[in-house]
Structure 1
Amino acid sequence: MRFTCLSIVEYIYRLYINRKIYFINAICRSALRPVMSAFYDLSGSIPLYQSDAAAFDPSNYKFDETSYEHRRAREDLYQARADFRTPIGIGDDSTIQVGAKYTSRRKTNDAESVIYGGYDDDFTLDQVQDGSIDSIFKGRYPFGATISRPSADSFFQSNLAGFELDEEGTVGDSLAADYLIREKIFATYAMATLKFGTFTAIPGVRMEKTKSNYAAKDILDTTTVADLGKDYDSFGSQSYTDFFPGLNLRWNATPSLVLRAAVTRAIGRANYEQLAPTTVVNASDNEVTRGNPALRPLTSTNYDLAGEYYIGRKGILSIAGFYKTIENPIYTATVVQSGTFAGQALVDAQVTMPVNADSAFVKGIEINAQTELSFLPAPLDGFSIGGSITFVKSRAKGIPGRGNERLPLASQSNRVASAFLSYEKGGLSARVAYTYRSAYLLEPGEDTDTDLYVGAFNQWDARIGYDIVKNVTIFLEGSNLNDEPYRVFQGISSRTDEVERYGYSVKTGIQFKF
């Protein structure tokens, strides 16, 4: 259940202007007409909000809505595979291998939601109040009273006649996530492993034939709860065949130095939610949200070079360079279109859907180093240290609605790094690790000012374990110990769109090795 201020809250403020502090006066029009004062501090990357005591009085919050929902997802998967390998009289211990694989998948998703609102009599938060939370987000925001779920459910069941069904919300939440996917993939391959002394070559090719059928539902302004049990009325299909040749080369130049090179081709299919032909038409706002059953999988041609130098038993220095050309990269975009959507004719509608851009490239270099510190005196000789960093540049073109503009590849950071310090000796194992990734493009907007980015992320993790007996280890580990938030910003880093903080997680247990 949600509770809101007894009536409309009026806010008078301006955001993102000279990064100053702005005060907001919020007036709740009610029988008591309490005046709530509050202010925002926008000087940092995360806004600060504070309000007076009236905002924490649960009697000032009136019932808004309650929803009851559940989802049923099912996937039936059938696979068959056969492989055959035989030695051939070329080089040293060379082989040839062929095989085939068949996959048949049927996946359904069925969501059901019932939303009620519009309670006639006064129903305020203090009637179903649970405990109070002093603050959230590391003390940044006071929170106040919470809702007791048992009390709220009991009130709802006892006063059901006084609530009104939110038909629009019920229909939208119940139908928008419903879909049926049928997918069949037949794959076959042939490859050889050719060994000539210190040199190994692995040429091969794989063929995949994919046939898919999709079904979902249309949601219009005229759709009612009577349509909730209807069959699928929106359909789509795809059928395509791809070939993936590849060549991997390895040269053991010395006992400690290995050089590698590869040219390969790969495929990345869209999520099923993106392929489902769901169409949601909001004619009053001239907006359409839809899936795209014609969305093509992205394919890439990959060029890789790497050198590895091994130091002792656990030490390595490596450097690798890569270049990838990508066809049909996938984005979510909003474009202006005129046409017929689910039988509804619209002119210059705002249409949001997953789309294929024309092409993209990714290039970069990765440096990795790790070694054990066995030269240290005991007991310090159990330490190991390591780290890696990757520098990446990516660009995509042909994104609908952005003309000839080149944007970064979605979900691709320009910098990714990690480091660790570990210890293993006498049954004791411990590890502290740090990971970092720079900001990346989440979703392109209409222009650079409305592009959504996920902010940079730093995380610390740790684990300690001890072998209490042979093959039995007791351990304690923690993740995101620095409580790094997930942040989304619009255009520039100071325009915060969303901040989520999850805190750290800790788990312990006993591990058995067999």
Structure 2
Amino acid sequence: VFGNHVSGATAYAMRNQVAQMDVDFEDAISRDFTTDENINAVYVQDTIELENAVVIAGVRYERTKTDSKAYDQDGNRTSSDKSYGFLSPSVTVKYFINDQVQLRAAIWRGLSRPGFTQTAPITSVNYGTAGDVSGSVGNPDLKPYEATNFDLSLEYYGEDMTYAAIGIFRKDIKNAIYPTVQKVATINGIAFNDGVETWINSGDSYINGLELNGQYGWDNGLYIAANVTFTDSESEFKFEDSSVFKTPFRKLAEKAANISVGYDKGPWDVRLAGNYRSEYIDWLADEDGDIGNVSKNNTRWVAPFMQFDLVAKYKVNENLTARFEAANLNNRPEYYYWGNKGQLSQYDIYGKNYTIGVEYTF
């Protein structure tokens, strides 16, 4: 027994009341913001060609400055600004073992800036009679992702469409960004002591990975291609009492793979592809939790996903190509859950999608 519910007839009758509703423009304004971002960069790069190798080395420096303006729950203007620099050296080496096999290695630093919505000072504060302060706010103090990357791969290029590769990689990441609910936090000058929905930077993170790729084609135009990636990752967090907890890296599936079967000969180019990924973490602590009380049950996960797509192209002549695409042939839904699949959070059905078109090149 779930309790009393409105009748179906009453629910449908509510539709007639929509015309009498007014738009709350103040609430719409409270979600508006403006962010100006200026990036100045300078870089130098050189390519060195050796007898059996190519070396590309360079360094880049970027200076970023942002200014944001938004509103609070009462329509008052809020503002924030931030500036930071980033130095990014890189070295890529490609060594030719023979005409068909090459070894590739790289090390470089990368930067990923926070999204504008994450840093805009959009503010909603609730002041309780007992001095409790709660609400939601963008976090202008967010730092950008910074990553030091290492790649190593061995690649084989055979005749026609034959290809195989194995690669390993490592990413050491600082300041990964996570959406969450903080029990206590001071953001943009506001001291919250009873919960605030916002974004935070994690401490140190890492991602280790293994990639396998292969492709083979036959003379009759048929071919098959597949790749799979395995990752192991971790992000570290500290909260009020200096305790530490760790989670898998957000938005990263431990397993990802796809396989394609196709035909490419004459005017026809047809490919059927299957794409798979395992589950991944989406959100730390739900609205009833806080960052100091994170567990599997109040962490939001995205369920494993498998989708099949079809692409078919027919080249009518040198200028005209007809194209047909069918996405999500298996009509796979996507769903999110808290802790286990029995605690549903969100369920999306996208359906199948078909596209027919022509491409003409002048």
The TM-score, its normalising length taken from structure 1, stands at: 0.64
Q: CA deviation at 1:278?
A: 1.1
The TM-score, its normalising length taken from structure 2, stands at: 0.90
Indicate how the Cα distance of structure 1 residues 399 and 442 shifts in structure 2: closer, same or farther if over 3 A, else same: farther
Residue 329 of structure 1 contacts residue 358 of structure 1 at CA under 8 Å; is this kept in 2?
A: yes
| Match in the other structure for 1:505 | 353
| Match in the other structure for 2:127 | 283
Higher relative contact order (CA 8 A, sep 6+): 2
Q: Provide Cα deviations, 1:246-279, integer angstroms capped at 9, x if missing partner.
A: 1100101100001001110000001000010111
Q: Is 2:271 aligned against 1:424?
A: no
| Match in the other structure for 1:435 | 275
| Match in the other structure for 1:233 | 77
**2:244 counterpart SS class:** coil
Q: Write the distance in 2 (CA, Å) between the matches of 1:490 and 1:277.
A: 28
| Match in the other structure for 1:467 | 315
Q: CA deviation at 1:342?
A: 7.7
Q: CA deviation at 1:373?
A: 1.6
Q: Provide Cα deviations, 1:475-503, integer angstroms capped at 9, x if missing partner.
A: 21101111111110101233221111010
Q: Provide Cα deviations, 1:338-372, integer angstroms capped at 9, x if missing partner.
A: 769887x76x3111111111110000100000011
**1:247 counterpart SS class:** strand
Q: Is 2:272 aligned against 1:322?
A: no
Residue 80 of structure 2 contacts residue 188 of structure 2 at CA under 8 Å; is this kept in 1?
A: no
| Match in the other structure for 2:223 | 384
| Match in the other structure for 1:211 | 65
| Match in the other structure for 2:38 | 184
| Match in the other structure for 1:171 | 26
Q: Among residues 328, 332, 341, which one is paired with 1:480 in the alignment?
A: 328
Residue 185 of structure 2 contacts residue 196 of structure 2 at CA under 8 Å; is this kept in 1?
A: no
Q: CA deviation at 1:281?
A: 1.2
Question: 2:59 corresponds to which letter in structure 1?
Answer: V
| Match in the other structure for 1:293 | 140
| Match in the other structure for 1:307 | 154
- More displaced, 284-293 or 389-398? 284-293
| Match in the other structure for 1:4 | none
Q: Write the distance in 2 (CA, Å) between the matches of 1:480 and 1:314.
A: 27
Q: Provide Cα deviations, 1:433-458, integer angstroms capped at 9, x if missing partner.
A: 00011111001114221000111110
Residue 438 of structure 1 contacts residue 457 of structure 1 at CA under 8 Å; is this kept in 2?
A: yes
Q: Write the distance in 1 (CA, Å) between the matches of 2:284 and 2:125.
A: 22
Unaligned residue ranges in structure 1 (runs of 5+): 1-11, 13-23, 29-54, 63-123, 129-151, 375-380
**2:117 counterpart SS class:** helix
Q: Is 2:243 aligned against 1:243?
A: no
- In the alignment of these two chains, the number of paired residues is 350
Indicate how the Cα distance of structure 1 residues 176 and 417 shifts in structure 2: closer, same or farther if over 3 A, else same: farther
| Match in the other structure for 2:99 | 255
Q: Among residues 177, 193, 196, which one is paired with 1:351 in the alignment?
A: 196
RMSD: 2.3
| Match in the other structure for 2:110 | 266
Unaligned residue ranges in structure 2 (runs of 5+): 286-292
| Match in the other structure for 1:458 | 306
Spell out the pairing of 1:127-142 with structure 2 (5 A cutoff). 128=16
Q: Write the distance in 2 (CA, Å) between the matches of 1:254 and 1:273.
A: 50
Residue 182 of structure 1 contacts residue 214 of structure 1 at CA under 8 Å; is this kept in 2?
A: yes
Indicate the structure (1 or 2) with the bigger Cα radius of gyration: 1
Q: Write the distance in 1 (CA, Å) between the matches of 2:264 and 2:3.
A: 59
Q: Write the distance in 2 (CA, Å) between the matches of 1:212 and 1:350.
A: 27
| Match in the other structure for 2:235 | 396
Q: CA deviation at 1:27?
A: 4.7
Spell out the pairing of 1:186-205 with structure 2 (5 A cutoff). 186-205=40-59
Residue identity (%): 26
Spell out the pairing of 1:67-106 with structure 2 (5 A cutoff). none
Q: Write the distance in 1 (CA, Å) between the matches of 2:123 and 2:352.
A: 39
- More displaced, 250-259 or 281-290? 281-290
Question: 1:388 corresponds to which letter in structure 2?
Answer: N
Q: Provide Cα deviations, 1:141-175, integer angstroms capped at 9, x if missing partner.
A: xxxxxxxxxxx77xx3xxx5xx6x576xx533x13
Q: Write the distance in 1 (CA, Å) between the matches of 2:46 and 2:188.
A: 51
| Match in the other structure for 2:288 | none
**1:61 counterpart SS class:** helix
Indicate how the Cα distance of structure 1 residues 426 and 356 shifts in structure 2: closer, same or farther if over 3 A, else same: same
Q: Write the distance in 2 (CA, Å) between the matches of 1:328 and 1:245.
A: 19
Q: Write the distance in 2 (CA, Å) between the matches of 1:399 and 1:306.
A: 35
| Match in the other structure for 2:215 | 370
**1:303 counterpart SS class:** strand
Q: CA deviation at 1:287?
A: 2.7
Residue 303 of structure 2 contacts residue 337 of structure 2 at CA under 8 Å; is this kept in 1?
A: yes
Indicate how the Cα distance of structure 1 residues 340 and 509 shifts in structure 2: closer, same or farther if over 3 A, else same: closer
Residue 335 of structure 1 contacts residue 350 of structure 1 at CA under 8 Å; is this kept in 2?
A: yes
Q: Write the distance in 1 (CA, Å) between the matches of 2:67 and 2:317.
A: 54
Q: Provide Cα deviations, 1:308-334, integer angstroms capped at 9, x if missing partner.
A: 001112211000100010011111121
Question: 1:462 corresponds to which letter in structure 2?
Answer: L
Q: Provide Cα deviations, 1:41-80, integer angstroms capped at 9, x if missing partner.
A: xxxxxxxxxxxxxx44x3x227xxxxxxxxxxxxxxxxxx
Q: CA deviation at 1:473?
A: 1.3
Q: Write the distance in 2 (CA, Å) between the matches of 1:352 and 1:427.
A: 55
Indicate how the Cα distance of structure 1 residues 391 and 276 shifts in structure 2: closer, same or farther if over 3 A, else same: same
Q: Provide Cα deviations, 1:162-189, integer angstroms capped at 9, x if missing partner.
A: x6x576xx533x1332111111111011
Q: Provide Cα deviations, 1:112-132, integer angstroms capped at 9, x if missing partner.
A: xxxxxxxxxxxx24x85xxxx
